[in-house]
Structure 1
C-alpha cells in the first residue's frame, strides 16, 4: 500500500494533465470552429453584397442609356425608353431575390445604405419615365446615385472589416 501512496501524486498529476489537455483541445476546437464559421458568413455576406450591387448596377446602366437618348447623359449607346422597358423589368426581377438575401444576411447599416441607394435609382427611373430633358437635374441625380453607391460600399467594407477602397468614380465630361 505504501508504494501506491507514493505513486498517487504522480497518478493524480497525470489525470489532471490529461484533463487539462482535453479541456484545452476542446476549447481550441470551439474557438477554431467559431472563427471558421464567422469567416464563412463573412464570405457569404460579401457575395450577397456584391450580387445585390451588381443587380442594381444593371438598372443604373440601362438608365444611363435612356438618359443619353433623352439628351441628359453622354453615354455612347443611347436606348429609347420603349427599348429599355423590358431590360429594366428584367433587371428588377433579377434584383429582387438579391434584395431578399441582403435583408436576411446584411447588417442593418448595410441594408439601410442599400435602401438609400435604390431609392435614388428609383428617382432616376421616374425622371426618365417622365421623359424629362434636363441635363443639370440629371447630373444631380447621377451624383446622388454615385454618393449612395459610395456609402453602400463604405458600409460593406466596415461590416466586413475591409480596408477603405477606391470610389470607382470616373470623371464626368464638363459639358453634357
Structure 2
C-alpha cells in the first residue's frame, strides 16, 4: 500500500497530463471545425449575393434596351416594349429563387440594401411601361440604380470582411448625338458610360451599369 501511495502523485500527474492533452486537442478540433464551418457559410453567402446581383442585372439590362428604343438611353441594342415584355417577365421569375436564398442566408443589412436596389429597378420598369420619353428623368433613375448597386456591394463586402472594391464607374466618351429611335440626347451627359453603366469599353450591355 505504501508503494502505491508513493506512486500515486506520479499516476495522478500522468492522468492529469493525458486529460490536459485531450482537452487541448478537443479544443483545437472545435476551433478548426468552427473556422471551417464559418468559411463554408461565407463562401455560400458570397455565392448567394453574387447570384442575386447577376439575376437582377438581367432585368436591368433589359430596361436599358427598352429605354434605348424609347430614346431615353444610348444602349446600342434597342428592344421594343412588345419584344421585351416576355423577357422581362422571365427575368423577374428567374430572380425569385436567388431572392429566397438571399432572405435565408443574407445578413439583415445586405437584404435591406438588396430591397432598396430592386425597388429602384421596379421604378425603372414602371417608367418604361408608361412609355415615357424623358432622357433626363431616366438619367435620375439610372443614378439611383447605380447608387443602389453600390450600396449593396458595400454591404456585401462588409458582411464578408472583404476589402473595398471599385465603384464601377469609368469615364468614357459621350454617346453619339442620336440613338434609339432617333431622338437626341440633349443633356450634357459626359460621364455617362455610353452603352454601359460604368462598364469597360466593349462590354456589350455595359458590363457594370
1:92-107 to structure 2, matched below 5 A, reads 92-107=92-107
1:23 is aligned to 2:23? yes
1:158 is aligned to 2:158? yes
- Structure 2 residue aligned with 1:113: 113
State the shift of 1:2 in Å: 3.0
The change in CA–CA distance for 1:88 and 1:98 in structure 2 (over 3 A counts) is: same
1:77 is aligned to 2:77? yes
- Structure 2 residue aligned with 1:138: 138
State the shift of 1:170 in Å: 3.5
- Structure 2 residue aligned with 1:45: 45
- Structure 1 residue aligned with 2:3: 3
State the shift of 1:28 in Å: 1.1
8 Å Cα contact 1:146/1:169 also seen in 2:
no
- 1:46-69 deviation per Cα after TM superposition (whole angstroms, max 9, x unaligned): 100000000000000000000000
Is there any run of 5+ residues in structure 2 with no aligned partner, and where?
A: 175-188, 195-209
8 Å Cα contact 1:69/1:78 also seen in 2:
yes
For 1:163 and 1:71, locate their aligned partners in 2 and report how far apart those are by CA, in whole Å: 39
TM-score (norm 1): 0.96
TM-score (norm 2): 0.81
For 2:4 and 2:107, locate their aligned partners in 1 and report how far apart those are by CA, in whole Å: 62
1:124 is aligned to 2:132? no
CA RMSD of aligned residues (A): 1.3
- 1:140-169 deviation per Cα after TM superposition (whole angstroms, max 9, x unaligned): 100100000000000000011111101222
For 1:21 and 1:50, locate their aligned partners in 2 and report how far apart those are by CA, in whole Å: 43
1:168 is aligned to 2:168? yes
Which of the pair is proportionally richer in helix?
1
- Structure 2 residue aligned with 1:36: 36
Give the match's secondary structure for 1:162: coil
8 Å Cα contact 1:46/1:160 also seen in 2:
yes
